[in-house]
Amino acid sequence: MAENNSLKNYPIHEIPECLIHGRTDLTGEAVPLFWNGSGLELCVSGSELWIDLEAGYEQYEPWISCEINGAFITRQMLMPGRQSLCLFRGMSPGEKKTVFFRREVQAFHEDEKNYLLICGVRTDGEFFPVRERKYKLEFVGDSITSGEGTYGAKSDNDWLPMYMSVSVNYADMVGKAMNAELRLISQCGFGVYCGYDNDVRHVMPAYYDQICGVAFGEHNRSLGAAKPYDFSSWIPDAVIIHLGTNDDVAFDNPPFIDPDTGKYYKIRKNSEINNDLNQSDVKRIRTAVISFLRHLRKKNPKSLLLWVYGMIGHRLSMPIASAVLDYIEQTGDLRAAFLELPDTPEENLGSRLHPGQAAHEKAAEIIVEYLKKNL
């Protein structure tokens, strides 16, 4: 390999110009990428660019993807430890390249050891300001927002990082169409009132105020994951809440008994009829929607709050829509809305029975149409 002796080393905090994407803590020496879509964006000249990383995990490995000048170039699994990835080499030194390096997978609350740090970059080029985007959008979601099923064969049913992505993801499609900077916070299996497993701890509202509360364990704590998130640091034009799918699934799943309290949790159906839901349990979900909206408004005084739902079934469309309406009526807050997304037909499924690329494209189209008219 031809040695390039003019590479200069830039620790992450000494890069003259760069844009760090995603909720993170900047106080450490390296910058942790906690959430799906978190990353580093550069506008750099030179012939060669390397990124210095540190990664660790027990069970669920981090994946990364990288775009150059807006085009998908690479997607790969990371090995643990310190490492340096070449993002490009042999390019015309004079040209500016926009490089967008991202964490391709969600945070993993199941794997306390999972972490990914950007330590710095090495290049023979100079740095230029990264283009300002027109909007800022935050997405709060579950496996759909984690891009589960956007890679992998239809027949694949393992639950693996490999099948998740931001590179094929309705949120990224919306961002590109709207020229928006994105922050995603999402966990597979999580809901608004409870998770797919009836576990009431598996809900995004419980973690919304922290930088990345679902990144458990000492090490992640030391990286700042559990710190309160500074909502004034990045003010979204819209917060898109994409929750409810797992609350829905919970109606069909076994109860959860809290190991600590022994308390029993289960949202119920009255009968085996598909949509014969126990209305008092539905009420719990509606209440959870309303209180999350109230909380989101407190944290995001200026943002449009858009609740989207429906890519994996419509059973909770009406309860969520009317909860959103109740919120509006109770608060007079006109900057909140519900938008239903089309259910995913069998032919548009990706892996693990989750929406595939075509389904993400349809959803993105509908959200974009809405945002264009309402931002």
Binding mask 225-264 for a second copy (x = CB under 8 A): ----------------------------------------
**Nearest CA-CA partner of 371 in 291, 297, 308:** 308
Beta strands (DSSP E) in 196-325 are: 238-242, 256-257, 264-265, 304-309
Q: CA torsion 293→295→297→303, rounded to 10°?
A: -80
Question: CA-CA distance, 364 to 265, in Å (whole number)?
Answer: 34
Binding of residue 343 to a second copy (CB under 8 A): yes
**Nearest CA-CA partner of 240 in 287, 173, 164, 193:** 173
Which residue of 7, 20, 206, 318 would you call a contact of a second copy, by CB under 8 A? 318
Which residue of 124, 209, 326, 361 would you call a contact of a second copy, by CB under 8 A? 326
Binding mask 346-375 for a second copy (x = CB under 8 A): -----x-------------xx--xx--xx-
First to last CA, the chain: 50
Which residue of 7, 20, 206, 337 would you call a contact of a second copy, by CB under 8 A? 337
Q: Tell the smallest beta-carbon distance from residue 253 to a second copy (Å).
A: 19
Helix (H) or strand (E) holding 326: helix 317-331
Q: Tell the smallest beta-carbon distance from residue 94 to a second copy (Å).
A: 11
CB atoms within 10 A of CB 268: 14
Nearer to a second copy, 206 or 318 (CB): 318
Binding of residue 155 to a second copy (CB under 8 A): yes
Q: Could you tell me the sign of the dihedral formed by the alpha carbons of 136, 140, 338, 148, in that order?
A: positive
**Nearest CA-CA partner of 311 in 239, 253, 244, 250:** 244
Binding of residue 301 to a second copy (CB under 8 A): no
Q: Tell the smallest beta-carbon distance from residue 195 to a second copy (Å).
A: 21
Helix (H) or strand (E) holding 127: strand 127-128
Nearer to a second copy, 250 or 341 (CB): 341
Question: CA-CA distance, 320 to 332, in Å (whole number)?
Answer: 17
Site for a second copy in 180-209 (CB under 8 A): none
Mark the segment that binds a second copy (CB under 8 A) among 13-21, 27-35, 63-71, 251-259: 63-71
User: What are the residues binding a second copy (CB under 8 A)?
Assistant: 1-2, 56-61, 68-77, 79-80, 86, 88-92, 95, 151-153, 155-158, 160, 162, 273-276, 279, 310, 314, 317-319, 321-322, 324-326, 328-329, 334, 337-340, 342-345, 351, 365-366, 369-370, 373-374
